Amino acid sequence: MLAKKPPKTLQQAIVYFADPDMALATMIRLRWPDGVIKCPTCGSQKVAFIRSRMVWECAEKHAKRQFSVKVGTIMEDSPIKLDKWLTAMWLIANAKNGISSYELARSIGVTQKSAWFMLHRIRLAMQGEDGGRLGGYVEVDETYIGGKARFMSGERKRRLSAKRPFGGKVPVMGLLQRAPEGGVSQVKTVVIAAHKRLKKAAMQSLVRERVDSGSTVNTDALKSYIGLDREYIHKVIDHAEAYAQGTVHTNGLENYWSLLKRMLHGTYVSVEPFHLFRYLDEQAFRFNMRKLSDFARFALTAGNVFGKRLTFNALTGNDLPQSC
């Protein structure tokens, strides 16, 4: 019998998930971490596995007695097999610059339309990883993203927006918590709704909802941020004068905006403003989880399909079957 370890690379993941038993075992581990399979309709544990169809049948009398591991998840109404779903999750959780529906379609052999559907569903699972509020040293900055994902620097965008408000671009606020000792920096991004654009109270409530009071907040000299010092230690860097003064800067976010730009411009090319927040969340997920292994990022994504918090063993793959 061929021993199979939990996958570490894309190539191993494809081989691992291609085995229907391994793919199913992976999903069972993520969905029922205690190994007890329960009927999603009535919660009964009296279920029998029907191997030929890879479904269970509940012993209780009710509708929908038969269920697959996909029932009640983002995959429920999809005819696409588990191996393709799992490989797609691996790809999107780990592709640094994202993956387009065309690329995914070619990689796993589905139509572009199916790939588009899968990617949007998987992004839903990635959104579950919010990570809580930010604190300590936090940078706050905005950028503008257009249909072609063009980015402009602060001064230029302000000059232009005075003439033509936003020029059809979507304003996005970024909040970046600098890495604490031994940790990694964390980012949150939020699309600034049309009616809130640059309005002081609205901009500041976006910050308050996401950052603990008492934190040190670095912003540029935008008027919308005046008054943040009531709850925060507010440090201002006037970008017309300098990019940084000691620890007062928003360079962490500047770097993040360029990462985001590479993803949107290179992979997704044109993103509808309506869908923009999904791509923002996708990139924030990979950025915030960047120190984890590929398997752990995959498991976090796949685990969220069931809305499950994962144990350390689930994140390392240690409780997956090691051989078949």
Q: Which is nearer to Zn ion, 22 or 47 (CB)?
A: 47
- Alpha-carbon distance of 249 to 239, in angstroms, equals 9
Q: Count CB-CB contacts under 10 A for residue 170.
A: 23
Select 39 or 105, whichever has its Cβ closest to Zn ion.
Answer: 39
Q: Which is nearer to Zn ion, 47 or 264 (CB)?
A: 47
Closer CB to Zn ion, 61 or 163, in the complex: 61
User: Nearest distance from residue 75's CB to Zn ion, in Å?
Assistant: 20
With CA atoms as reference, report the closest residue to 136 among 215, 207, 214: 215
Residue 36 CB, nearest approach to Zn ion (Å): 14
Measured in whole angstroms, the distance separating CA 60 from the mean position of its chain's CA atoms is 38
Amino acid in the structure at residue 77: D
Burial class of 45 by CB neighbour count within 10 A (0 to 12, 13 to 18, 19+):
exposed
Shortest CB 65 distance to Zn ion, Å: 6
Least Å distance, CB 45 to Zn ion, is: 9
CB of 48 to Zn ion, least distance (A): 11
Least distance to Zn ion from the beta carbon of 74, Å? 22
Interacting residues with Zn ion (CB under 5 A): 39, 41-42, 44, 58, 60
CA distance linking residue 32 with residue 121, whole number of Å: 21
Closest distance to Zn ion from the beta carbon of 76 (Å): 16
Using the minimum distance from each CB to Zn ion, give the nearer residue, 38 or 265. Answer: 38
Closer CB to Zn ion, 39 or 305, in the complex: 39
Sheet holding 216-220, edge to edge: 186-191, 170-177, 137-145, 216-220, 233-237
Cβ within 8 Å of residue 96, ≥6 positions away: 263, 286
CA–CA dist 140, 137 (Å, integer)? 10
Name the minimum Å distance from CB 60 to Zn ion.
Answer: 4
* Measured distance CA(129)–CA(62) in Å, rounded: 35
| Contact (Cβ atoms closer than 8 angstroms) between residue 128 and residue 89 | no
The three-class DSSP label of residue 97 is coil
In the bound state with Zn ion, the residue whose beta carbon lies nearer, of 60 and 155, is 60
* Cβ proximity of 3 and 323 under 8 Å: yes
* Closer residue to Zn ion in complex, CB, 42/54: 42
First-residue to last-residue Cα distance in the chain: 7
